[in-house]
Each structure stands twice: as structure tokens, then as C-alpha cells.
Amino acid sequence: MPVSVAEKRATFHRLHQSGCFVIPNPWDAGSARMLQHLGFKALASSSAGFAWTTGHADNKVTCDDVIAHLTELCAAVDLPVNADFEGGFADEPTQVAANVTRAVATGIAGVSIEDSTGDKAQPLYEARLAVERIRASRAAIDASGADVMLVGRCESFFVGQPDLNLVLDRLVAYADAGADCLYAPGIRTREQVTAVVKAVHPKPVNLLIGWAGGMTVAEAADLGARRISIGGALARVAWAGAIRAAKEIAEQGSFAAFAEGYPAAELNKMFSQDS
């Protein structure tokens, strides 16, 4: 029997209560079903991964596009889905809240709100406004009656401001404003992860590992991270394989890379089981 939205959301909350789990990022319904087939417990959308499927750069899709994408992902799998909702597709808290309400209606189990502006001259929202955006998102979720987790993201390291003290101050403020889980993409060292975990305890921390050579799941768990997401990394791996094969055809007239393709029969078998 299909898993209800309420069951997905309850499962998502339980996953955050202890241990450490990986929440990989599909980019479409097929990759979401593949990850479910492989046994992952929850998924998260990827703003970059999805944008590339539409022929756009990251952060260059509309709120309507993302709402449709989230609806498709949630319908495709029996797993909880956390929405990478960028900055809420608005500046003002009331508008962010309205968009969060739309996101909740797609069936998501969690939603992440960033504090980056997209403006190189002022890459982060002013601290007070950033907190109000989280508070408004919290209020929107509560008003919906949905048990959706709110993730507060500080993008300081991602926008070229690797100031750990700023990150800690903001994440604590986001937690106080109602964020259930805290996230600072770009932190990498044991010391940085430990500091974030300690600052927002007992609330869970999401750690991004989207590059080769990062710490292992066991190492992240030892530091107190509750969940690990991988951003657009899987999508980049998929694009790398496709581009490599296409370049061999275009430049060498060779189809040798097809030998590395996953067997069609196995893909059909997998999707038959998950459909």
C-alpha cells in the first residue's frame, strides 16, 4: 500500500532523533526511485540537480517550476522528501511564508530556507531579516497544520564569507526562530562540524558532503551530525558520464563508453519493482 504523507513526515522526524543517516539528492522521479530501490531512508531535492535537467543554471528556475518538481518527487517515492527551497523565492518574510505554504502542499516532509540573496554586493540577508524569514516560514508551516520540518541554512561559507562565528550566531538565531534542523553548507573540518553541532544542540545538524575525499558517514556521525546530504554531487556524476560518452562520439567517432552503461534490463527491472 502507498505510504501516506503523514506517515512520511512521522518517519522523517524519527530519523532525526538519533544516529546519522544519508539523505541523497535525486534530480528527477527516476533518480528518486533508484535511490529508494537502493535502500535510502529519505531523500532531498537538489536545486542544482533539478535546474540542470531543465537546461538552466542553479538558482535560475522559478517557484512554480520547483513546486511542480517537488510534487513529482513526492509522488514518485514512499520516502520522506526534504525540499531544497533555495531562499523561498522571495525577499520579504510574508512572501516567503506564502511560498512555503505552497511547498508544504506538495507533500514534502521538510523544507530548507537559505539566507543568501543572490546579490554579489550583499550576498547574505541582513541578520534580522534572515531571522524573520525563518520565523515566517515556521508560522506558515504551523498554520498549515502539517508536521513538516523546517531547516535553517546559513550560506556564509558558500558565498565566500567563511566566518564560523557568523555561522554559529545565525544558526543559533534560526533555531530560536523555529528551525528544527540547522545546516551550514561548506563547512568541512572536524572542528567546524563539532562547533556547529555544539552550538545548536539538541537540534539536529545537516552536513553537506558533496566532494571526493570528504569524511565518511561514520566520521560525521562521531562528530554528532544527524544527517548527511550530497547536494548536486550525484547529478554531476551522472552528467560526467553522459558528457564523457558524448564527447567520445563527437570527437573520436567512438562508442566505447557505452560499455560502462548500466544494463537496460536491470533498469527496467528496478523501475518495475518501484512503480
The verdict on residue 244 lying in a domain is no
Kind of pairing between the strands at 181-183 and 110-113: unpaired
Please work out, in degrees rounded to the nearest 5, the angle formed at the alpha carbon of residue 32 by the alpha carbons of 186 and 260: 90
Q: Which three cell numbers stand for residue 120?
A: 554579489
186: left (phi over 0), alpha (psi -120 to 50) or beta: left
Q: Which domain holds residue 112?
A: 5-233
Q: What 3-state DSSP class applies to 234?
A: helix
* CB-facing half-sphere around the CA of 125: CA atoms within 13 A: 23
* CATH number of the domain enclosing 137: 3.20.20.60
Q: Which three cell numbers stand for residue 246?
A: 558524448
The verdict on residue 263 lying in a domain is no
Q: Which three cell numbers stand for residue 205?
A: 545538524
Per-residue pLDDT band at 1 (split at 50, 70, 90): low
Q: What is the pLDDT of residue 213?
A: 83
- Residues 6 or more apart from 156 whose CB is under 8 A from it? 124, 162, 163, 166, 167, 170, 184, 186
The verdict on residue 258 lying in a domain is no
Q: What 3-state DSSP class applies to 229?
A: strand
pTM (predicted TM-score): 0.96
The verdict on residue 255 lying in a domain is no
Contact assessment for residue 226 and residue 13, using Cβ atoms and an 8 Å cutoff: no
* CB-facing half-sphere around the CA of 59: CA atoms within 13 A: 9
pLDDT tens digits, 100-135: 999 999 999 999 999 999 999 999 999 999 999 999
Q: Which three cell numbers stand for residue 13?
A: 522526524
Q: Which three cell numbers stand for residue 190?
A: 572536524
CA atoms of 26 and 30, how far apart (whole Å): 8
The answer, yes or no, to whether the previous bond of 202 is cis (omega within 30 of 0) is: yes
Contact assessment for residue 225 and residue 206, using Cβ atoms and an 8 Å cutoff: yes
Q: What 3-state DSSP class applies to 110?
A: strand
Beta-bridged to residue 22, according to DSSP, are 228
**pLDDT-above-90 percentage for the chain:** 97
Per-residue pLDDT band at 212 (split at 50, 70, 90): confident
- Residues 6 or more apart from 186 whose CB is under 8 A from it? 155, 156, 157, 158, 162, 208
Contact assessment for residue 58 and residue 25, using Cβ atoms and an 8 Å cutoff: no
Per-residue pLDDT at 150 exceeds 80: yes
Query: How many structural domains compose the chain?
Result: 1
The verdict on residue 266 lying in a domain is no
pLDDT tens digits, 231-254: 999 999 999 999 999 999 999 999
The verdict on residue 252 lying in a domain is no
CA atoms of 204 and 234, how far apart (whole Å): 24
Per-residue pLDDT at 273 exceeds 80: no
The verdict on residue 99 lying in a domain is yes
Q: Which three cell numbers stand for residue 148?
A: 513538516
Mean pLDDT of the chain: 97
The verdict on residue 259 lying in a domain is no
